[in-house]
Structure 1
């Protein structure tokens, strides 16, 4: 896992402009659809695919980075944008659509709408078919990430991280775990702490997160591809019930329970074993 910024490009498609990063390694490609506050310039949870030799395509979802909100606002709309981006780059088949957190519904929509493109689906701490988030979180997020306040919110976050990093991490982890944040922070390695500090210092919400909250996850049918679902019961952002609901509705699915202390399953002590499961899953 790494939060180091990466170079991105934009493509002007029939559906609109989309920002993306395409890390080519000569092998098959996976498409990563990241969650809230993320854009194509940030890498999260991609190392497993890179180590296995996969090329990784990461588009910024609507309202994030340099992808305008008008470019495929709904999950189905951006699924079509993802297909068009693959066509633009000459990608005719992807080994998996990987949906992380709020990017989960778009990964599923891409698989349903374009089965000739997507071989498999991997869902990591992903939002499922249940209501999300809860009402208090939704109301607070609408205030904190409104157009007039989003920049101020992230400026405050960066100031706290810069001056009192430990306090900043505890505050941010508090919304991402069901466990005491101090306990979660204590269990992190120095390297993991630095990774989170770099990640949080580069996150932005733009108009994307409010769109995630407001967007109706349109019904697109059932995923028929083999699907790997990975989630933790300690996730304070996307409850484990979402993973259970996904496993019950996706016919060819396998639910892997992570021992992670928070939403960040990549920081768990069992992540190396889960990475092996991902590689085995991709190998069929």
Structure 2
């Protein structure tokens, strides 16, 4: 990434007021005295902001002030003593309130847009429902509506097993995750054509902690966005929501079509893309977001 010409990069690490043992790392691309609208970005499971959003920041940093942060126990947000990672884990209500705490720490009352990917996209919906006065538009990329119904297959159980089997668990999971994130021939071609980005993603996945991985999976195993979408719809804010899915991202395209009908939100399906649409199809994704939040 080239040096930022107009922005001052602020980096920090702070204790959450509502969970004092937990620290959250953030970076703020801000152009002092510019009055630029603020956009906040929220990460997927097993990722960190330094790797995940490079293309987005490159595209938007001269038009918006950008907040990036690592969700609990991911990236540079460290593990916390005494936390029940493998049992209770986390909820999306907690993760949404963590995002609000980042804004409080930076002294920002309201952001122009919240853009989330995967787990971060689910966080964006809950944030909009719980903190409506603090955000304008949200971009929900790669989220489903709810976790698997009781008695149905839990897709996360095999991943937890691999991740927690010894010190190399997350490294063993990395290649499986990469193949799932960038599926099929288009995904393989992207990774082959972008070896530096491929290696950055592998390193990111290997460096993720099993504790943080499982703690956030507990949120993904126990969520339902229906009440959040109902609140957004009742407030007349449905058109403040853009749902985005990669056409090759398993069941998520169909799930997002159903979510759009339920919520009256805007919908975009990005062809020949898997889960990490903001990277694999960065140009198309950024153009969609640009037009939506303008």
TM-score bin, normalised by smaller chain: 0.7 to 0.9
Question: Gapped runs of 5+ residues in structure 2?
Answer: 3-8
Q: Distance in 1 between matches of 2:156 and 2:117?
A: 19
Q: How does 1:110-149 map to 2 (within 5 A)?
A: 110-131=127-148, 135=153, 137-146=155-164, 149=166
**More helix by percentage:** 2
Q: What TM-score comes out, normalization by structure 2 length?
A: 0.75
Q: What TM-score comes out, normalization by structure 1 length?
A: 0.77
Corresponding residue to 1:262 among 274, 278, 281: 274
Q: How does 1:134-283 map to 2 (within 5 A)?
A: 135=153, 137-146=155-164, 149=166, 151-156=167-172, 172-176=177-181, 179=184, 184-186=187-189, 190=193, 192-203=194-205, 204-215=208-219, 216-217=222-223, 219-220=227-228, 221-224=230-233, 225=237, 226-236=240-250, 239-251=252-264, 253-268=265-280, 271-283=282-294
Number of aligned residues:
260
SS of the equivalent of 1:73 reads coil
Moved more, 201-210 or 218-227: 218-227
Deviation readout 1:137-173 (Å, 9 max, x if unpaired)? 3221111222x53x41334578xxxxxxxxx5xx554
Deviation readout 1:202-253 (Å, 9 max, x if unpaired)? 23144222123222226545334311111122014x63233223212323x1
RMSD of equivalent CA atoms: 3.2
Question: Gapped runs of 5+ residues in structure 1?
Answer: 159-167
The offset of 1:135, in angstroms, is: 3.0
Q: Distance in 1 between matches of 2:156 and 2:177?
A: 16
Question: Contact 1:94–1:118 at 8 Å: present in 2 too?
Answer: yes
Q: Distance in 1 between matches of 2:78 and 2:103?
A: 16
1:20 partnered with 2:26: yes
